[in-house]
Structure 1
Amino acid sequence: MTLSATQEERLLQLNALDEIRKSTLQHTKSIQNQRMKWHDRYIKDKSFKLGDWALLYDLRYKDNLGKLHTRWLGPYEIVETFSNGAIRLSTVDLVKFKLLFNGHRLCLYHKPLSKDDFLQQFSTTKHVEIPTATSDGFAVTTPS
C-alpha cells in the first residue's frame, strides 16, 4: 500500500502538532517554576497561635491613599485557627466574630510595655544606667 501525497502531508502535520504540544507543555512547566520561585521568595506564611493578638487590615482604605487614615483595626485576640489559613477573632470584650478572616489580612500585635514593666526590665540588667530627673530638670544617672 502506498500513501498518497495528501496522506503523507497529513501525517507530517500530526507529528508537528505533537511536537508543538510537547514544547508548550515544557514552556508551561518553566513558567510555573518561575512563579513558584517568586511566590516562595516574596510571600511568607504567617503563623498565629491561640491567644496571640493581631491587627486586622481594613479593606475600605485599600484604594484610598490618605496619609492620615489608619488602615489597621484592632487589636483582636486569636480564638481559633484553621488549616487553610482562616482565623476566628474575638474583641477585647471577648465577643467572638461570626466571620472568619484570612490570615494574610492580619499582622501580629505586640502589647506595649507599661512604664513600670519597662523600668523593671532594664533594672535587671547590670550594665544599663537609668536616668532620673531631679527637681531642677537635670538628669542624674545612677548605676544599677
Structure 2
Amino acid sequence: MDYERARAEQKLQLQELENIRLEAYKNSRLYKEKVTAVHDKNIKRREFQPGDLIFLYNSRMRLMPGKLRSRWDGLYRIERVEPYGVFHLSHPSSSELIKVNGIRLKLFHSEKMARNQELEIFLLEDPTTADD
C-alpha cells in the first residue's frame, strides 16, 4: 500500500515538473518574440537608389592602427540595385563595377553639402619632425 501511494505521488511530481517545463518553454518563446519585436523596431531601414552617392566601409582598416583614420572610402555611385541588398558601385576614377553588400554602405548627404557655402577641409597627415 505504501508503494502505491509513493508511485502516485511520483506521478504527480512528474506531471508538475512537465507543466513547469512547458510553462518555461512558453515564457521563453514569448520573451524571444518581444526581444525580436524591439530589435526590429529599432533597425533603421537604409534604402539606396541608383545614382546615389555613398561611402564604402573598408573592413581592412581595422587591422591598421590609427584613431583618426577613416574607415570609409568614397565617393562611389550606385549603378545597379539587385535583390537581397546587393549593389553595383562605380568609382569616378575607374570604369569597373564593384559588387558590394548593402551593409557596407553609408549615404553621402550631398544636399547638406550644397547648402553650406563654405567648406573647410582638414587633411590628416603624419606630423613633420624636427629632422625634416
TM-score (normalizing by structure 2): 0.64
In terms of mean alpha carbon deviation, does 106-115 or 30-39 score higher?
106-115
Distance 1:65 1:30 in 2: 44
| 1:104 maps to 2:107 | no
Same amino acid, percent of matched pairs: 29
Distance 1:9 1:82 in 2: 63
1:28-107 counterparts in 2 under 5 A? 28-62=28-62, 66-92=66-92, 93-97=94-98, 99-101=99-101, 103-107=102-106
What is the Cα deviation at residue 109 of structure 1?
1.2
Deviations 1:98-135 (A, max 9, x none): x432x2221111345499xx6xxxxxxxxxxxxxxxxx
What is the Cα deviation at residue 82 of structure 1?
3.3
What is the Cα deviation at residue 64 of structure 1?
6.2
Give the aligned partner of residue 8 of structure 2. Answer: 8
TM-score (normalizing by structure 1): 0.59
Q: Which runs of 5+ in 2 are unaligned?
A: 118-132
More contact order relative to length (CA 8 Å, sep ≥ 6):
2
Residue 70 and residue 12 in structure 1: after superposition, are their counterparts in 2 closer, same or farther (change >3 A)? same
Question: What amino acid maps onto 1:61 in structure 2?
Answer: M
TM-align CA RMSD:
3.0
Larger radius of gyration: 1
What is the Cα deviation at residue 65 of structure 1?
6.9
Question: What amino acid maps onto 1:79 in structure 2?
Answer: E
Residue 65 and residue 34 in structure 1: after superposition, are their counterparts in 2 closer, same or farther (change >3 A)? farther
Residue 85 and residue 9 in structure 1: after superposition, are their counterparts in 2 closer, same or farther (change >3 A)? farther
Residue 20 and residue 80 in structure 1: after superposition, are their counterparts in 2 closer, same or farther (change >3 A)? farther
Distance 1:82 1:17 in 2: 52
